[in-house]
């Protein structure tokens, strides 16, 4: 039900075209929304040649409310001829998205990688630059990544370490995938964790898809997963579970190829958008006005606030729990400007507040006290 | 034009020579001497004009905390004073300092003085602080000012402050899911219309509950 996918590189054993169409019924739960049933239709097509790989994929999700999410993505990779164990790759990856028939947002990423292969294993490293357009804001992204893969006991295993920067957020992810085929059963799984992050939360993500091929072209499948928010595609965090069928009129389903779809899609961009990575501000209500501010700030040792109500003097908050900080302050109804500072860093705006140009070359948050 | 006139008048008053500026103790030690004198002259003009001075002091202190150059601080305070004057003039008599400040933010975001006057007219029996702040929020989220203003005015007659805040929160949530701000606004306007049609009691409760995607 989710749509995190990319194409990067491969060393196809034989040039081929494959196409699949997934139809599923499931349940989704996005952060900040109620759970919902959803129907999805996901067609995909790819071509793997000796020097070029290309793929396109669509995804249409119809929610219980009648609203829908439509996404499309495409990727193309150009490969250099092998030079001993070395092979270079230049690839581009981009997509479009529209929620409930609204205007379209998009993203794109250009990557360069160097692969070193040795038999049934290999490593690679590289980097990428890109950005996204969502609503009225542009976001720039960059990444450095390295990974390895190997074939063992009929399974394809990969490990990827990625350091990414999206806008002013930096993240380091470690993820692993496994794909295996046993008779008519096929399993794809991804597990990952954000091990380190600056101005971002850490966390785990993953998904699994299990298929049973009923005929050479039709499989029953169940999928489930949990993913973090995605800055490039401006998606919120969510969980899903679904069951359905995969129709593959001319794919080669049973061969675990040296570098298959999973192996080509290892570097997921950092998946926490800047606004969700920032500290969260919680106003403690008092009926009228407010009588306290709580900040949820992961990975901080010192949290300071400067605001209209502190005469813009930095005031350190008191730690009241794991990742939680508190300031006892009584606020009358009104609009206040404020900034936060973590560990003596830059003044920033906590999540959930309106961000404005502060006229001093930076940004300030506005909070409305009712 | 409606914003320009109060700004010009304010600047003229602020530049009148021979004015004895009152001392604002909180500025002492926070601003360079010349900057402090310029800001205090602006504060004095604001007091004379009957404008709230607290937001002006706050803006100067914010600039000081952020180590902004003195001329930039003075310019920001002067702009804010002009916006406060325009906001007060748009809202008319009997408006609170918080409302004036919220109106000034909305003007800075792109709202027109006529829109603020219309908002005050529609919500004549309740404060407009939250409505003006939500207007500012919507523009900051990426909704074009004209569209944001139209939405806030459309809700002005029936929405409570809590419903304005829920409205704004839901739009932000939809934007996070991938909707453009304009599309999110349209959905929430439609939802708000349905809720209001269902009755005011239901609108208040339902607007604060999470919804399905």
Go through B102-140 and write b for each residue having 16 or more CB atoms within 10 A of its CB, e for each that does not: bbbbbbbbbbbbebbbbbbebbeeebbbbbbbbbbbbbb
Residue window 4-23, chain A: list those with CB within 8 Å of chain B: none
Predicted complex ipTM exceeds 0.85: no
pLDDT in tens, B180-191: 777 778 777 877
The yes-or-no verdict on residue A241 having pLDDT over 50 is yes
Q: What is the mean pLDDT of chain B?
A: 82
- What is the rounded CA–CA span in Å between residue B96 and residue B102? 10
- What is the rounded CA–CA span in Å between residue A9 and residue A112? 10
Inter-chain touch B142–A135, beta carbons under 8 Å: yes
Name the band, by pLDDT with cuts 50, 70 and 90, for residue B11: low
The yes-or-no verdict on residue B1 having pLDDT over 50 is no
Q: What is the mean pLDDT of chain A?
A: 77
Handedness of CA A112, A118, A120, A123 (dihedral sign): negative
Choose the weakest-confidence range: A5-9, A231-235, A347-351, B127-131.
Answer: A5-9
In this structure, the dihedral spanned by the alpha carbons of residues A77, A81, A84 and A86, taken in order and rounded to 10 degrees, is: -20
Share of chain A above pLDDT 90, in %: 21
Q: Which residue of A has its CA nearest to B177?
A: A235
**Mean pLDDT throughout A46-75?**
85
Find chain A residues with C-beta within 8 A of B204's C-beta.
none
Q: Give me the residue from A313, A337, A355 closest to B140, CB to CB.
A: A355
Query: pTM of the predicted model, to two decimals?
Result: 0.53
The yes-or-no verdict on residue A300 having pLDDT over 90 is no
Inter-chain touch B62–A347, beta carbons under 8 Å: no
DSSP state, A49? -
Choose the weakest-confidence range: A88-97, A156-165, A286-295.
Answer: A286-295
Residue A216 has what pLDDT?
Answer: 74
Q: Which residue of A has its CA nearest to B109?
A: A356
Inter-chain touch A236–B173, beta carbons under 8 Å: yes
Find chain B residues with C-beta within 8 A of A34's C-beta.
210-212
Name the band, by pLDDT with cuts 50, 70 and 90, for residue B200: very low
Inter-chain touch A354–B140, beta carbons under 8 Å: yes
The yes-or-no verdict on residue B197 having pLDDT over 90 is no
Name the band, by pLDDT with cuts 50, 70 and 90, for residue A242: very high
Q: Give me the residue from B57, B65, B129 closest to A335, CB to CB.
A: B129
pLDDT in tens, A158-208: 899 998 887 767 788 899 988 877 777 888 899 999 888 776 667 899 999
Name the band, by pLDDT with cuts 50, 70 and 90, for residue B177: low
Find chain B residues with C-beta within 8 A of A69's C-beta.
177-178, 213
Two tokens at B81? 């004073």
Answer yes or no: are the C-beta atoms of A232 and A5 closer than 8 Å. Answer: no
Among the ranges B53-62, B109-118, B176-185, which has the highest mean pLDDT value?
B53-62
Two tokens at B127? 């404060």
**How many CB atoms are closer than 10 A to CB B43?**
24
Two tokens at B54? 């607290």
Residue B52 has what pLDDT?
Answer: 93
Two tokens at A39? 């129907």
**How many CB atoms are closer than 10 A to CB A249?**
11
Q: Give me the residue from B61, B137, B179 closest to A311, CB to CB.
A: B61
Task: Report the candidate in A281, A288, A274, A245 with the shortest Cα–Cα distance to residue A365.
Answer: A281
The strand pairing partners of A130, in sequence order, are A109, A141
Task: Report the candidate in B131, B46, B204 with the shortest Cα–Cα distance to residue A370.
Answer: B131
């Amino acid at each position: 039900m989710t749509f995190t996918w990319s194409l990067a590189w491969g060393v196809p054993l034989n040039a081929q075209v494959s196409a699949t169409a997934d139809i599923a019924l499931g349940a989704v739960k996005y952060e900040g929304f109620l759970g919902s049933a959803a129907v999805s239709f996901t067609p995909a097509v790819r071509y793997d040649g000796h020097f070029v790989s290309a793929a396109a994929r669509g995804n249409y999700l119809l929610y219980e409310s009648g609203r829908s999410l439509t996404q499309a993505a495409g990727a193309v990779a150009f490969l250099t001829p092998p030079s001993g164990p070395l092979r270079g790759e230049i690839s581009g990856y981009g997509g479009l998205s529209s929620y409930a028939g609204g205007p379209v947002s998009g993203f794109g990423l250009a990557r360069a990688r160097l692969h070193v292969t040795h038999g049934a294993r290999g490593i690679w490293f590289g980097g990428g630059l890109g950005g996204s357009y969502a609503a009225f804001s542009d976001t720039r992204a960059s990444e450095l990544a390295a990974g390895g893969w190997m074939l063992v006991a009929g399974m394809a295993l990969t490990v990827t370490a990625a350091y990414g920067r999206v806008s002013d957020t930096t993240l380091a992810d470690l993820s692993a995938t496994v794909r295996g085929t046993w008779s008519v059963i096929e399993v794809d799984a991804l597990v990952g964790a954000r091990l380190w992050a600056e101005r971002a939360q850490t966390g785990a993500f993953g998904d699994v898809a299990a298929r049973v091929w009923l005929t050479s072209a039709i499989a029953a499948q169940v999928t489930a997963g949990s993913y973090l928010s995605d800055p490039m595609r401006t998606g919120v965090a969510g969980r899903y579970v679904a069951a359905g069928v995969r129709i593959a009129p001319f794919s080669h389903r049973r061969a675990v190829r040296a570098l298959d779809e999973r192996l080509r899609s290892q570097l997921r961009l950092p998946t926490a958008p800047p606004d969700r990575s920032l500290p969260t501000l919680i106003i403690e209500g008092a009926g009228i006005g407010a009588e306290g501010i709580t900040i949820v700030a992961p990975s901080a040792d010192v949290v300071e606030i400067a605001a209209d109500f502190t005469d813009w003097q930095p005031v350190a908050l008191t730690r009241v729990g794991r990742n939680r900080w508190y300031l006892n302050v009584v606020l009358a109804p009104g609009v206040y400007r404020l900034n936060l500072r973590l560990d003596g860093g830059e003044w920033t705006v906590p999540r959930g507040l309106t961000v404005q140009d502060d006229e001093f070359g930076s940004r300030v948050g506005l909070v409305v006290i009712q | 034009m409606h914003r320009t006139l109060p700004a010009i008048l304010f600047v003229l008053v602020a530049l009148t020579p021979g004015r004895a500026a009152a001392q604002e103790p909180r500025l002492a030690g926070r601003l360079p001497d010349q900057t402090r004198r310029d800001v205090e002259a602006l504060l004095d003009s604001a007091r004379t004009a009957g404008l709230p001075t607290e937001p002006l002091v706050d803006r100067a202190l914010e600039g000081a905390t952020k180590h902004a150059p003195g001329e930039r601080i003075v310019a920001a305070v002067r702009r804010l004073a002009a916006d406060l004057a325009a906001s007060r003039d748009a809202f008319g008599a009997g408006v609170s300092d918080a409302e004036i400040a919220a109106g000034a933010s909305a003007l800075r975001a792109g709202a027109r003085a006529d829109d603020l006057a219309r908002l005050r007219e529609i919500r004549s029996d309740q404060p407009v602080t939250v409505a003006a702040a939500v207007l500012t929020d919507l523009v900051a989220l990426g909704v074009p000012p004209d569209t944001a203003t139209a939405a806030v005015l459309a809700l002005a007659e029936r929405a409570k402050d809590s419903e304005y805040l829920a409205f704004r929160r839901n739009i932000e949530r939809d934007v996070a899911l991938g909707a453009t701000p304009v599309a999110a606004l349209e959905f929430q306007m439609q939802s708000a219309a349905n809720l209001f049609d269902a009755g005011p009691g239901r609108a208040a409760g339902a607007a604060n509950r999470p919804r399905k995607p």
